[in-house]
Structure 1
Amino acid sequence: MNCTDTHPTHRQRSQIIWGVTLIAFGVAYLLQRDDDAAVARLWQYWPWVLVAFGINNMLPPVEGRRFVDGLSQVLFGAWFYVTMEGWWGLTFRNSWPLLIIVGGLGMVLQPLARRWFPRRQEEQS
């Protein structure tokens, strides 16, 4: 989907999220510039950027497809963070089937979400 197809509100929120993300990483690097190990540990939080963009896609005004895509992004970011942290014994090696489940869930929810979220007027014409 190119930028001309998105709602102006989504573009503004995306720009704000990117800006806040860059500011946060810049400040974190600046504060930790003398501690290489601390800077390396910052990368463990990158999945939260995916979660933020997923939440942005789920906020109104939204259509069904965008909502399900946002939900998939949130779940993927959460999976990435959980496996990187090793919570519940999950690793990349033993939890990758969860991604197949998320993909299938997205395929099932797409048609259902179209019923729950009416299309915007400018998209119908």
Structure 2
Amino acid sequence: MNNGTSNQWRKQVVWGLVLIVVGAVFLLDRMDFLNIHDMWQYWPLIIVFIGLTRMIASPTPGEFTGGLWMVFVGTWLFAVFDDRFDLTFRNSWPLLLIAGGLIMVIKPFLEKRALDKKGISHE
């Protein structure tokens, strides 16, 4: 299996599992074993999950850093909406600047590493 096929297979399995979980949650809600309304406060974790899947199946440094950004934003939103660590939109927005800067610093290193793996000179 080449790298592209492997990544496609991994993405398909992950999204298949997501559909199974979502279907099971809705079924449990319809059968009154679970109350979905109480779970909506966790919606930012969907962004975290999507970011993690992008990072795991990342064929390019850009997709990896995009996934990393999604994980950070989803975690930040969850912390703000759930009143974790006394974070609010007003006092925590600088975290977005810090995360953006970190991603800008990390991306060139990931690109250099990807070129080194391919044996391409980057000088």
TM-score surpassing 0.5? yes
| Residue identity in the other structure for 1:78 | T
Q: CA RMSD in A?
A: 2.9
Q: Which structure has the higher relative contact order (CA within 8 Å, separation 6+)?
A: 1
Aligned residues: 115
State which drifts further: 83-92 or 58-67.
58-67
User: 1:61, CA displacement in angstroms?
Assistant: 6.2
User: 1:24, CA displacement in angstroms?
Assistant: 1.6
Structure 2 regions of 5+ residues with no counterpart? Answer: 119-123
User: Which runs of structure 1 show a deviation greater than 6 angstroms over 4 or more consecutive aligned residues?
Assistant: none
Normalised by the size of structure 1, how large is the TM-score? 0.69
Q: 1:68 to 1:91 in 2, by over 3 A?
A: same
User: 1:85, CA displacement in angstroms?
Assistant: 1.4
Asked if the contact 2:10–2:57 (Cα under 8 Å) also holds between the matched residues in 1, the reply is: no
Give distance in 1, aligned partners of 2:20 and 2:72: 24
The Cα offsets for residues 31-82 of structure 1, whole Å up to 9 and x where unpaired, read as: 12376x9212222233333223322333366332222222212112211221
Structure 1 regions of 5+ residues with no counterpart? Answer: 1-5
Normalised by the size of structure 2, how large is the TM-score? 0.70
Percent of aligned pairs with the same amino acid: 37
User: 1:120, CA displacement in angstroms?
Assistant: 6.9
User: 1:88, CA displacement in angstroms?
Assistant: 0.5
Structure index of larger Rg: 2
Of 85, 92, 97, which residue of structure 1 is paired with 2:94? 97
Q: 1:57 to 1:120 in 2, by over 3 A?
A: farther
